[in-house]
Amino acid sequence: MKILIVDDEALALARLKRMLTTLGYEDIVEADNAASALEAVKENHFDLVLLDINMPETSGLELGYELRYHQEGLSIIFQTAYDEHALKAFDIGAVGYLVKPFSMEQLEQSIERVKVESKSSNDIRLMSKTGESYYLLKPEEIYYVKADLSEVMLRSSKGFSYYAQKISDLEKRLLAYDFIRIHRSYLININKIKEIETIEQSKLRFSLQDISDQIESSKDGAKAFRNNFSV
């Protein structure tokens, strides 16, 4: 298990690392501010983040949103000297909440909960962002995906939001959720299709349920769609 620990207090960071090492965890990365934590998550895949809430400049709660935006499904255990942030922490998707000073046993129990939940969870959620707001979207809530440089835009009933992954990588993850590539820049949720119209060069134009957007396939995308569904 690869663990990121984030705390602006050097003594607290050292104590936490010592406790984790005692519990048998050795693959540990330390960060003492939000910027270094974000950089670590962009460069590495972590199974768990132990994140202090009360930090200067960027709070741990705000950082939690940012970390999950860059690594969907990241398990977070918040740690703080106060307990009034618990509700907000679980709203972000935290799997644990430790009030300092916590014991070795409490830390161990929280980590074991992470292991159990990661084994039992088969559904995915995509943490996307629009402005200062974040959405936690299920695949079935997404109408289509549009490529935008190194990211994608997810179209849901809430509008457009950004997700930090290339469309080719997201295509593989969404294959099991009835998404199909109809263009180099588009994935479409076949369960959201209302109507299909043939246009020039045998391309297809898709109308979608409940929204006015229309998406046009490429010539190759139309051929692939027809081959898949014998249109």
Do residue 85 and residue 146 come from a single domain?
Answer: no
Q: Report the interhelical angle of 60-70 vs 34-43 (nearest 10°).
A: 20
**Intra-chain end-to-end CA distance of the chain, in Å:** 47
Domain of residue 25, residue span: 3-120
Q: Does a structural domain hold residue 135?
A: no
Of the candidates 120, 153, 182, which is a domain's last residue?
120
Do residue 160 and residue 61 come from a single domain?
Answer: no
Do residue 60 and residue 9 come from a single domain?
Answer: yes
Kindly list the distances between the CA atom of residue 153 and the CA atoms of 170, 186, 192, in Å, as whole numbers in the listed order: 11, 10, 17
Do residue 97 and residue 176 come from a single domain?
Answer: no
CATH number at residue 145: 2.40.50.1020
Overall domain count for the chain: 2
Q: Does a structural domain hold residue 58?
A: yes
Do residue 113 and residue 146 come from a single domain?
Answer: no
Of the candidates 85, 120, 155, which is a domain's last residue?
120
Position 89 scores a pLDDT of: 57
Q: Walk along the chain (231 residues) and give the pLDDT tens digit of each residue.
A: 899 999 999 999 999 999 999 999 999 999 999 999 999 999 998 989 999 988 887 788 889 888 988 887 788 898 887 666 555 555 555 677 888 888 999 999 889 888 776 654 556 889 999 998 899 999 999 999 999 988 999 999 999 999 999 999 899 889 888 899 999 999 999 999 999 999 999 999 999 999 999 999 999 999 989 887 754
Do residue 35 and residue 77 come from a single domain?
Answer: yes
Do residue 71 and residue 104 come from a single domain?
Answer: yes
Do residue 102 and residue 175 come from a single domain?
Answer: no
Q: Does a structural domain hold residue 131?
A: no
CATH number at residue 42: 3.40.50.2300
Q: Does a structural domain hold residue 167?
A: yes
